[in-house]
A and B are shown apart, each in its own frame.
Chain A
């Protein structure tokens, strides 16, 4: 593409300029909040209120904030992070096992309840939490699964969005010819999945795993419904507890605990850090796995 740029027509030049202007505008729109958060982490509470949006605080202020955060209830936040990691790793692994074959089958084989399953999956995706909070709580209670790692992992393994991602991927990107020839060679469906589809699924796995990770890592609702023990809390629920009852948000909560807005901001950045890391890793796979030349036709 770079080679071609030298011969750009006037029209194309205007076009590219417009594209870059749009992108730069979008960049500022999206990046501003993050930059603000990063800078805000280095300021203390009064400074947040009274100095300009991009003014610089100091390392000492950041250190004091971090100290307040880590010493809260004997570094309880560390325990929450560990719990979150356990729930997330478990949930992501289990959801991949459930989602990938399901998406594959739904995209490549015609069978009686295919459409019904797709519709129900869609319904599950658009069901508001308000509807399912009580039923899920009672169901899990009946199986003795609330307040347990296993319960959280099983509940978060249900990832209908992943099924759609997989369904769309296999329906659009998987050459039908490959499957047919494998079937003619006498391979079973499961073998077709593991030998033909899976090797071509790197970008999909990266995408599903990442979104499943994101959903689990930031899941508030299920943790809210299923957990009533401090030592089992995940990061989002723990932070909400910490922040909402310490006057970090409302100011009308009187408390001597040194958790305020800077602490909430630094906590948020700690939560974002692993997301950023995994995002960059998964992007690598999404790009590298292009199905060049495998399109049917």
Chain B
């Protein structure tokens, strides 16, 4: 029963990663083994420290937004009558379906007080033009908002689905015991969907430290906002796709992946995620 999936996992999951690991020890033009040269090269990149700092600031903001925002909104929606919940959930989800080319245009306008639908908010804060908005919010915040708008809706749907999976009997029982809605949400519902929340935290963190899309999109919004080396993963991309150095790229991204795997496994085994109850 597992075999179709295992075949795909082998071909598209493991083989490429192993191949990349191999590449990271090679000179990819003359195909000679040259040990840790690629690693040395990327670790000496003058932008590395800065991009690591950037990424951690971003992850801190983004992860908080995701956990608090999605957790709270999902629980609130679950307590609502079905019809209003569906309307709201749909509205939360839709921004995530906007294609990347349109996202650029969208943010081009959202961040410009002169034409932004949030313009009055910016005015109230005294931010007069796009440059001021970006510099006051800071790139980590701007990118977090971009990513939150794109991904949170999907997770609200997933967590919402998990909440629907909780049997009504459990909830009825606690209601009989005198628990109010708030207590039910925090004490009964939240613990029962912890697996989904944990998965969200793991994936958000792992994808967060590999963030790439947001600054790339921002660059398309105008040369002024072009930051092609803002995140670590962007550096890895540059090595391979601008300079043609796939070995250096592989070295950078395998280190990044290793960090992501390490943190994820800490969470997974720390929470006994795979335990069968």
Contact = CB atoms under 8 A, between A and B. Distances in A.
Interface string B254-266: 1011001100110
Interface string A119-140: 1111111111111111110110
Interface of A is mostly: helix
A271 B169 contact: no
A120 B164 contact: no
A104 B1 CA distance: 9
Nearest to A122: B264
B88 A27 contact: yes
Given A36-B106, A123-B13, A218-B97, A287 B167 contact: no
A147 to B, nearest CB: 18
Determine the interface band of chain B, counting residues with CB < 8 A from chain A. 35 or more
A157 B9 contact: no
Interface in B92-151: 92-102, 104-106, 109-110, 115-119, 149
A110 B276 contact: yes
B221 interface: yes
B15 A135 contact: yes
A216 to B, nearest CB: 13
Interface string A198-242: 000001000100110010001010000000000000011001100
B250 interface: yes
A218 B99 CA distance: 7
Contacts of A276: 90, 94, 97
A286 B97 contact: no
B208 to A, nearest CB: 10
Contact of B9 (A160, A268, A272, A283): A160
A110 B275 CA distance: 10
A26 B105 CA distance: 22
Nearest to A128: B210
A77 interface: no
A269 B212 CA distance: 24
A102 B15 contact: no
Given A243-B101, A249-B104, A292-B168, A126 B260 contact: yes
Contact of A53 (B117, B169, B210, B233): B117
Contacts of A34: 91, 94-95, 98
A22 B71 CA distance: 13
A99 interface: yes
B207 interface: yes
B5 interface: yes
Given A283-B90, A286-B160, A158 B165 contact: no
A178 interface: no
Interface in B213-272: 220-223, 233, 236-237, 240, 246, 249-250, 253-254, 256-257, 260-261, 264-265, 268
A139 B86 CA distance: 43
Nearest to A16: B181
Interface stretch (B40-48, B50-58, B191-199): B191-199
Contacts of B180: 12, 15
The interface centre, meaning the residue of B15, B20, B116, B169 with most chain A CB atoms within 10 A of its CB, is B20
Contact of B76 (A19, A126, A271, A280): A19
Contact of B119 (A53, A117, A218, A243): A53
Contact of A158 (B13, B96, B240): B13
Given A48-B109, A267-B102, 20 more contacts: A1-B81, A12-B180, A19-B76, A26-B92, A27-B91, A37-B98, A53-B115, A99-B5, A105-B2, A120-B9, A126-B203, A131-B236, A131-B250, A155-B12, A165-B158, A168-B196, A239-B99, A249-B101, A249-B105, A286-B164
Interface of B: 1-2, 4-6, 8-9, 11-17, 19-20, 23, 69, 72-73, 76-77, 79-82, 86, 88-102, 104-106, 109-110, 115-119, 149, 153-154, 157-158, 160-162, 164-165, 167-170, 180-182, 192-193, 195-196, 199, 202-203, 206-207, 210, 212, 220-223, 233, 236-237, 240, 246, 249-250, 253-254, 256-257, 260-261, 264-265, 268, 274, 276-277
15 contacts: A12-B180, A30-B94, A33-B98, A52-B115, A107-B276, A124-B14, A127-B13, A135-B19, A139-B15, A172-B165, A172-B192, A264-B105, A268-B101, A271-B99, A283-B157
Interface of A: 1-2, 12, 15, 19, 22-23, 26-27, 29-37, 40, 48-49, 51-54, 97-99, 101-102, 104-108, 110, 114-115, 117-136, 138-139, 154-155, 157-158, 160-161, 163-165, 168-169, 171-173, 189-190, 193, 203, 207, 210-211, 214, 218, 220, 235-236, 239-240, 243-244, 248-250, 252, 261, 264-265, 267-268, 271-272, 275-276, 279-280, 283, 286-287, 289-295
